[in-house]
Structure 1
Amino acid sequence: MRIDLVEVSKGRGDAALLPTTATFTSGSITLVRAETQQRPTVLGLLASGRMHPDTGVVTVDGRVDYGRMRAALALVDAPVVSEPVGHVSTVGIVEEELMFAGRASTPSAARALLAELGLTEWARTPFANVAPTDRVRLLLELAALRPGVEGIVLVAPDRHGGDPSGWWEAARGLARRGLAVLVIAGDAAAATIAGTSVADMPDVIVEDLVEVSA
């Protein structure tokens, strides 16, 4: 799978999103910089086929096909749109996600998954209080369980604080399994991941982690 965003923008005068170009493909991870409260979510919606751009084009494998994009791409932790309710316990969040994945969604099934991921300590904790890296890793793993998912669009994981390298490595893990992964984050987090200063870093960071045959 290959998703191309070519000079996509949103809003009058590009207020919601400035023209942005990026690509993410199966077996790779791409980070795109987006600042302000609104722009990361807008870009996530465009990149996952849930919103149409005002200018530019979004394609999947060379074609405009929003239906396929919505079916194949999970939009993870986008503020307001797909972020979990903070006051619900972690085990409750897992139960709900297991239901979306078409799996047994009982408390025991949720606890078993948390144990498998080494996250049992957070079971009764309100989800808003889960450590940033563990929060993102859990949401990524849950999204990957959904039937037909070929790619992940992770929105603004840096807003939770913590060390960006933690959630970056969790997202890289999905790319190593062959998923197409797009991460949308702010300048400071992107600079940390790139190992450079904000002034010197690129707008887009791409790592090819798996050789995927056509």
Structure 2
Amino acid sequence: MEIRAERVGVNGPHGPLLQPTSLRVRGGEIALVTGEPGPGHTTLALTLAGRLRPSSGSVTLNGRTDAAVLRKHVALVDAPDVNEPEDGLKLSNAIAEELLHAGLPSNRNAVRKWLQTQGADIYAGERVEHVPAAVRTRLLVELAASRPGVQALMIDTPDRHTSDPGTWWPHALRQAEQGLAVVVFCSPASASALPLPAARLGHDDQPDPMPVLSGEPQ
């Protein structure tokens, strides 16, 4: 699969939410998008996932414009004010909701067993904001990737939880190694610490994403 954004811009009721931005990523590749704090990261993630209509430009999946197909195959991960776990929610409850979205058993026993397989059962009763950032991101990425039909992940600003890219970059890489198309949104400071040129919000440059699979990307 290939997702391509060509000069995608989005206007809000009070002005631009996203200035024209271009990006491309295929299965087995990871792309990095950077920009200053603001609505641009989440706006682009929503648009690439078919959940927001661009005001200008286009988003295509395998050369076709089809928002419904994008929604089926692209998952948002921990997007602020969209699908991040609510403040004060226990991790076990947040995991139950995500398992439900993935079409998997979500009762208390199922949640406990899933957390055990992830080595995270000790955090089951913790509020999500108190779970270590590396654990939080890993669990939410794994759950999003397990949803039926998902072929791409939009991982939204994991660096807002920690300044250390080493706590989330390996989890993004792992999903690309599994064959998914992965886009990670982060701050310029985080992007500068990673071994990959970043696409920039509000710019038309399209740095090549990083292929992380042997052989041809899907």
Count residues with an aligned counterpart: 209
Question: 1:90 and 1:134 mapped to 2: Cα distance?
Answer: 11
In the alignment, residue 60 of structure 1 is paired with which amino acid?
L
1:11 match: secondary structure = strand
- 2:2 aligns with 2
Secondary structure at 1:16 match in 2: strand
Shift of 1:206: 2.1
| Shift of residue 161, structure 1, vs aligned partner | 1.4
Counterpart of 2:22 in structure 1 is 21
Match of 1:206 in 2: 209
Cα distance in 2 for residues equivalent to 1:101 and 1:93: 13
Amino acid at match of 1:81: V
The one-letter amino acid of 2:212's match is L
Kept in 1, the 8 Å contact 2:33–2:198? The answer is no
8 Å Cα contact 2:32/2:183 also seen in 1: yes
Deviations 1:96-132 (A, max 9, x none): 1111111111111111111111112211110111111
AA aligned opposite 1:194: P
Residue 89 of structure 1 aligns to which amino acid in structure 2?
Answer: K
**Could you tell me which residue of structure 2 aligns to residue 145 of structure 1?**
146
SS at match of 1:46: helix
- Normalising by structure 2, we get a TM-score of 0.90
Q: Which amino acid aligns with 1:94?
A: I
Q: Does 2:71 correspond to 1:70? A: yes
Give the alignment of 1:129-168 within 5 angstroms: 129-168=130-169
Partner Cα separation in structure 2 for residue 107 and residue 162 of structure 1: 33
1:105 corresponds to: 106
- RMSD of aligned residue pairs (Cα, Å): 1.8
Contact 2:85 2:128 (8 Å CA) reproduced: yes
Aligned to 1:120: 121
Task: Quote the offset at 1:144 in angstroms.
Answer: 1.1
Separation in 2, partners of 1:7, 1:41 = 16
Q: Could you tell me which runs of 5 or more consecutive residues in structure 1 were left unpaired when the two chains were aligned.
A: 196-200
Structure-to-structure mapping, 1:166-185, within 5 angstroms? 166-185=167-186
Q: More relative contact order in 1 or in 2 (CA 8 Å, sep 6+)?
A: 2
Unmatched runs of 5 consecutive residues or more in structure 2:
200-206
Instruction: Report if aligned partners of 2:29, 2:217 keep a CA contact under 8 Å in 1.
Output: no
TM, length-normalised to structure 1:
0.91
Identity percentage over the alignment? 35
